[in-house]
Structures are given as C-alpha cells and as structure tokens.
Amino acid sequence: MDAFVGRERELAALNRMLSRIESGGRAGRPGRAMLIRGRRRVGKSRLVEEFIERAGLPHVFFTASAQSTHQLDLSLFVEAMATSVLPDAAATQGQSPQTWDAALHLLAGALPADRPSVVVLDEMPYLIRNDSGFEGTLQKLFDRELSRKPVLLLCVGSDLAMMEALNEYGRPFHQRATEMVVPPLTPADVADILQLPPAETFDAFLVSGGLPLVLDEWPRGASVFDYLSDVVEDPTSALLVSGERALAAEFPAEAQARQVLGAIGSGERTHTLIGREAGGLPPASLARALLLLTAKRVVDAVTPLSVRPSRETRYYVADPHLRFWLAFLGPYLSEIERGRGDLTLARIKRSWTAWRGRAIEPVVREALFRLPEGGLPEGTGAVGGYWTRTNNPEIDIVAADRGPIAKRITAVGSIKWLENRPFDGHDLAELITHRSQLPGADDDTPLIAVARSGVSVDGVQAVGPEELLSARW
C-alpha cells in the first residue's frame, strides 16, 4: 500500500476522545480510556500509530509478548517509558519497579499535566494472563492518578472475548472505558488499494480477508491468480504466514480446537459432519471445542432465519482470510516449502468456483444489510439464510424485521456468483419455489437476485458487485 487507507470511522472516534481530553473533562479528571479489540493482523497497532503520528502527541507505546513473564513485562514497560517521547521520560531511566502498582505510578509521574498524551498497552490480554492482578491494579491507578492527567489510555488486544469482557459488570474496568472494534479492511477499501473491478475486488477480499499485511504485498491491479501464482512460490508470504501465526497465538495448547477448526475450514458445517471430519471426536469433546471456537469469535454459529425457531445450527469460519487459508493453504504448507507450490495452485484453481460460491454468501448478506437507504425493503432489521435438515429448501438470502426468529419476512433472495452466467428464468423459477417453502413468506414477498454476471429476467431486485461495494461498511 502506498499510504494509510480507510479507518476514517476509527480515527474519528479517537479524535473525539482526544477532544474530550482537551476540553478538560469533569471534576478535574480529563483522562480517558479506550479498549480496542480486533482480530490478529487487522491493523489495530497500525491504526493507533497513525493516530498518534497525525496528532503529534507525546506518547509511550508498550507491546506485551506471549513469551514474557510478569517481571520481564515490568522491565520492558520501564524500557518503553525511558525511550519514549514523554517530556519526563528521562526520570524513568534506571528504575526497577517490582510491581505494576509501582510501574504505573512511575508512568503517572512522567505524563505531562499541561497537554494531552497517549499511553498504549498493546496485547493487553498477555499482561492479564501473566499477572492476574494487573486488571485491578490498572483500574486503581487509572482512578487515582492517570485519570487526573490529560491522557488517553489505549488498551489493545486480539483476544476478542477477553477484551470484550474487560468492560462487563463486575470487572474492575467496568464503565471506565469506551470500546472500539477494529474490523478488517472492507471490500471498498480493497477496491481503493488494489484498483480492481468490483467483481475481482470481492475475489481479492475472499482471499485476503481485508488484512493490511496481505494487501500490502498484493500488486496493484493483480487478479487473484496473478497474486497466488507468486504466493505459492514464497513460504514467507504474509498470506501463508498469517493464518499459522493466528492459530498458534489463539490455540497454543488446544489441539482439539484446532482439529475442529480444520474440519470446519474444510467445508463441513453441521455438528455431526464436523465431528466426523475431525476424526470422530466424542460428543463432549466436540461440544467443548465448538464452545471455545465460538467464544473466541473464530467460528460463527448460525441458525436459519424465518418466523419459526430452528435447531439446525451451522458453523462457519468467521474470518474470510482464515477460511481461505484453512481450505487451501494450511493443510498443504509442506508442499509449498518443498518447492511444489504448483500443486497447491492447481488445487485452488480446480476448487475455486465452487468454494467461492459458498464463501461469498456471508459477505453478500453483510453487504446487503449495509446497503444505503432504499437498498432493502423498509423494516429490514436482519439478513440471513434459511435451510432445513435435508437442505430442501436452502435459501441464500432471507431479509426480515429481526433475527433469528422473525415476525415478518421482508425479502427472499438468491446468490449466483458465476462468471458469464447471469441470473436467468430457471433461477427465478427456483427462487419462487423456495419462497413458497419459507415460513413467513408469501407470494407478495419481494425477490432479490445477487449475481456476479448480471440478471436477465424481470420480477426481481437485481444487485451486482457494484451495488454491493456501495454498502456502508
């Protein structure tokens, strides 16, 4: 990438926090805190660095490590302070605090009182794991000292569940921090970065997942297979390395969870089929693994959307990049490492059309839900899919007033993501039949056709890649 792209919403939120600090706050407490969470390698740290650079503020940036210990964390934190651009950084040199209470007290003394500053605690979940008392200590020092300074405390983490829990009732930091979720870059961002046509932009999004590091090595204007042809020759490519590093960080000792995730990534979606693909795991072990994967937001558990409740849960890999990596790269890294990436590339090409047809579905549903006003029928509050145990019918798009159990169905649709194959009369007839089988829909329920290559019939709302890119991501 030539320059920092996207993140206008996130930068605006950080600037609003800075404005509140500059205004002085209430009761002499201008300090503010923000909990920033997002999947690994989505650019959280890069976002914070960009904000600090644009603001031109004195700051200290500390990144914890999964390999460090409590005492090593303390010494690295003091080193980060001593080498920072805080006005009183020199006063922290040579200090050796033995507790986080002492270290944070030292930080408070080094922060300027006459102008705003920023303190970043990156990978905060590691600090909590290494010291169970860190969370409470940070809250105490924030209340007593840090909040009295014009400082913005940014706590950053990739463990989504843990970061989300930090602000819950009963936790030390409850109601003390604003929350921010940093998503991957959007398809619209990918289009800006790679300068690809809309349909090819979505192909690139399905492979990259919107990860900045992957997009940074993707040549501008290159198609998916132009890019992949280079990737399979380079075992150090960001596309290859990101998936393995993410799994190693999330599940260092959870072999069964990784086994189950691999089964879901291979294409299995139901409880029974996942267990079978994972080597016949006992039901209790499978249930524990699925619970862990969904709690960490790595896997989405989805139920059919209609006016009737359903237990037909399906499981999907939540992150598009990891979905691609698990299907095509992770199981075949040894091929690439021994110089036979040509085998990997040939396998991707054979399966690409079928895989893409499934992988695009959640992306399309998210885009439809975010279309500008008038994109979906009025009153739509949820977009999902519908299926039965036998997959008869299986409906790609169900729009409703709410989910997962709706009061009213607002639209029913189909996704046809094939090249040189528009949505035609046969597809329309099938969609009308499926609509008649959907609980809550009737003959007056509007129809939507989302097609990569256009729509050749009347009677449906046609949506193509261009319209999907206009979504308010």
Q: Which amino acid is at 210?
A: G
* pLDDT for residue 252: 61
* pLDDT for residue 253: 63
Helices (H), 306-390: 320-324, 333-337, 341-369
Phi-psi domain of 234 (left: phi exceeds 0; alpha: psi -120 through 50; beta: other):
beta
* Per-position DSSP letters for 14-43, written without gaps between them: HHHHHHHHHTT-BTTB--EEEEEE--TTSS
* pLDDT for residue 373: 85
Residue 205: burial class (beta carbons within 10 Å; 0-12, 13-18, 19+): buried
* pLDDT for residue 245: 83
* pLDDT for residue 26: 67
* Per-position DSSP letters for 42-104, written without gaps between them: SSHHHHHHHHHHHHT--EEEEE--TT--HHHHHHHHHHHHHTS--TTGGGGTT---SSHHHHH
Q: Measured between alpha carbons, how far is 39 from 299 in angstroms, rounded to an integer?
A: 12
Q: What is the pLDDT along the chain (473 residues), one digit of tens a residue?
A: 446 777 899 999 999 999 999 988 666 799 999 999 998 889 999 999 999 999 999 999 999 988 778 889 999 999 999 999 999 999 899 899 999 999 999 999 999 999 999 999 999 999 998 998 999 999 999 999 999 999 999 999 998 888 999 999 999 989 899 999 999 999 999 999 999 999 999 999 999 999 999 999 999 999 999 999 999 999 999 999 988 888 877 776 677 888 999 999 999 999 999 999 998 999 999 999 999 999 888 999 999 999 999 999 999 999 999 999 999 999 999 999 999 999 999 999 999 999 999 999 999 999 999 999 889 999 999 999 999 999 999 999 999 999 999 999 999 999 999 999 999 999 999 999 999 999 999 999 999 999 999 999 999 999 999 999 999 88
Please name each of the domains of the chain with its CATH number.
8-181 (3.40.50.300), 187-365 (1.10.10), 366-469 (3.40.1350)
